[in-house]
Amino acid sequence: MMSYQQTKYWSVDNIVDNLIESKEIQEAAAFLREGKLVAFPTETVYGLGASARSDEAVTSIFTAKGRPADNPLIVHISQQKDVYNFTKSVPEKAEKLMEKFWPGALTIILAHNGRLSTKVTAGLSTVGLRMPDHPVALALIEASGEPIAAPSANRSGRPSPTTAAHTAEDLQGRIAGIVDGGATGLGVESTVIDCSGELPIILRPGGVTQSQLEAVIGRVEVDQSLTEEAAPRSPGMKYKHYAPEAPLTLVDGDEDFFRSCVRKHKENGEKVGLILFPALASMEADAVYILSDNRIETTARELYSALRTFKKSEVDHILMQAVPADELGFAVMNRLVKAAGGRILTQ
């Protein structure tokens, strides 16, 4: 793996005029054209970008992240028309989804035409394409002139990064550069929907909900094998994900049950970390992260920062109450269950 004594850092103002012409974006785009790795913000999480047409550049993503090479990558584009450069065909339902949700937190799986690196598709006949809803991401992709393969910009298995600081924590010295465009807004990754078959199927829940999709194209199925260890059709369907340094357990129950679970861990001599909604802010533990409010949108936005707060040297175990698994909560619980390794205490 190529190593860097110092990862280049660019701070970019999201609201400047003609962002694409800024010195920072132009320099970062030149890095991408040269086959180097550059992390950048999207509206979901920070992505680790490389030219999706370069085998060598894409291979370096897997090396930097420590990510298995049989896990496909999402390709980010800056204009909707770019889809047709890399696909065999675009079904009508996919067209409708692009019109409604792009730019945005929706990745659409389509049959590719072989113009992308096979390292991106992991040898599959399909590829996931997304147009991110972030001015920095769009400017960088456009300036590079390349389709950009970009998984989350973290070490594999760690919570995804929602700030440039999170990215640096994991990848400093392992990648060429980081574009800092501030904290991301949504906080969980894009929804992945497979439109390569007759019936669209959600392969990963995310920022666009099932009901929102069905309002546009009618019936949408949800893949029931999201956690199966078969060869994945989508990013985020295989291997350990989102795990904090200390073990996380979810608690599915009321306040009294949650408090009893905390007591049991303390009675076992463990140092306990808690991720709490404001109503339980008075609860004591060795380390506490209090979410800003009770809204599921806030939980999604702050989730990965909360998980990264707790260090193994400070706590032995982390506890958090489960959230209702509907709408955006389906995506949040998907990430939490994976982060917890399936550990859930039920009342």
Q: Is 67 annotated as a binding residue?
A: yes
* Neighbouring C-alpha atoms within 13 Å toward the C-beta of 212: 18
Q: Is 152 annotated as a binding residue?
A: yes
Distance CA 296, CA 304 (A): 14
Q: Is 126 annotated as a binding residue?
A: yes
Question: Who contacts 231 (Cβ-Cβ below 8 Å, separation ≥6)?
Answer: 70, 122, 238
Q: Is 156 annotated as a binding residue?
A: no
Two structure tokens written together for 339: 């982060």
Q: Is 162 annotated as a binding residue?
A: no
Q: Is 155 annotated as a binding residue?
A: no
Pair type for strands 201-204 and 74-76:
unpaired
Q: Is 84 annotated as a binding residue?
A: no
Q: Is 343 annotated as a binding residue?
A: no
- Do the beta carbons of residue 166 and residue 180 sit within 8 Å? no
Q: Is 304 annotated as a binding residue?
A: no
Pair type for strands 248-252 and 126-130:
unpaired
Q: Is 219 annotated as a binding residue?
A: no
Q: Is 242 annotated as a binding residue?
A: yes
| Residue with the two structure tokens 């390794």 | 341
Exposed (0-12), middle (13-18) or buried (19+): which is 299, by Cβ within 10 Å?
A: buried
H-type alpha helices, 250-327: 255-267, 296-309
Q: Is 160 annotated as a binding residue?
A: yes
Angle between helices 23-33 and 135-144 (to 10 degrees): 50
| E strand spans, the chain | 8-11, 38-41, 46-51, 74-76, 106-111, 126-130, 148-149, 177-180, 191-194, 201-204, 221-222, 248-252, 272-276, 287-290, 317-321, 344-346
Binding site residue list for ATP: 67, 71, 126, 152, 160, 204, 242
Binding site residue list: 44, 67, 71, 76, 126, 130, 150, 152, 160, 190, 204, 242
Binding site residue list for L-threonine: 44, 76, 130, 150, 190
